[in-house]
Amino acid sequence: MQAVFDALATGDPLPYRAQLADDVRYTILGTTKWSRIYFGKQTAIEQLFRPLDRRYAHGFTRTAHRIIADGDHVVVESRGRATTRAGVPYCNTYCQVFRLANQKILEVTEYCDTALVEAVL
């Protein structure tokens, strides 16, 4: 996970997306338009990542500040940064809980400032 987040810190999402299992369960908590469970890697890419990517002017970076591992679970606290195409800064704080198996991410549960998501995205 450290290598995945090192790449995200430079704006490269490909290692992160490559680590997702084909049948990943990707949960965004809250009541935003993005909040729901995305079943499967392709669904997460097509219905979450690509639409969000189109909203950013120059990509998105996410820097991990703390990574805690316990068995098959990894918790990552991180800070994301982007600017929307409308010129609005989007800087959110995240806590993601991952469940891993066979070097793949099987489950993701993401916590963030949903009021900021609603206001900016």
* Domain, as residue range, for 52: 2-120
Residue 38: predicted pLDDT: 98
Per-residue pLDDT reduced to its tens digit, 20-45 = 999 999 999 999 999 999 999 999 99
Instruction: Match 């959110």 to its residue by tokens.
Output: 92
Count of alpha carbons within 13 Å of 32, Cβ hemisphere only?
19
What are the DSSP E strand ranges found in 29-72? 36-39, 56-70
Q: Tell me what the mean pLDDT of segment 56-64 comes to.
A: 96
The model's pTM is 0.94
Per-residue pLDDT reduced to its tens digit, 78-114 = 999 999 999 999 999 999 999 999 999 999 999 999 9
State how many domains the chain has.
Answer: 1
CATH of the domain at 76: 3.10.450.50
Q: How far apart are CA 82 and CA 43, in angstroms?
A: 23
Q: How far apart are CA 48 and CA 68, in angstroms?
A: 25
Q: Tell me what the mean pLDDT of segment 5-17 comes to.
A: 97
Residue 64: predicted pLDDT: 98
Q: Tell me what the mean pLDDT of segment 3-24 comes to.
A: 97
Residue 112: predicted pLDDT: 97
Q: What are phi and psi of 111, to 5 degrees?
A: -115, 135
Q: What are phi and psi of 56, to 5 degrees?
A: -95, 140
Q: Token pair of 80, please?
A: 């994301």
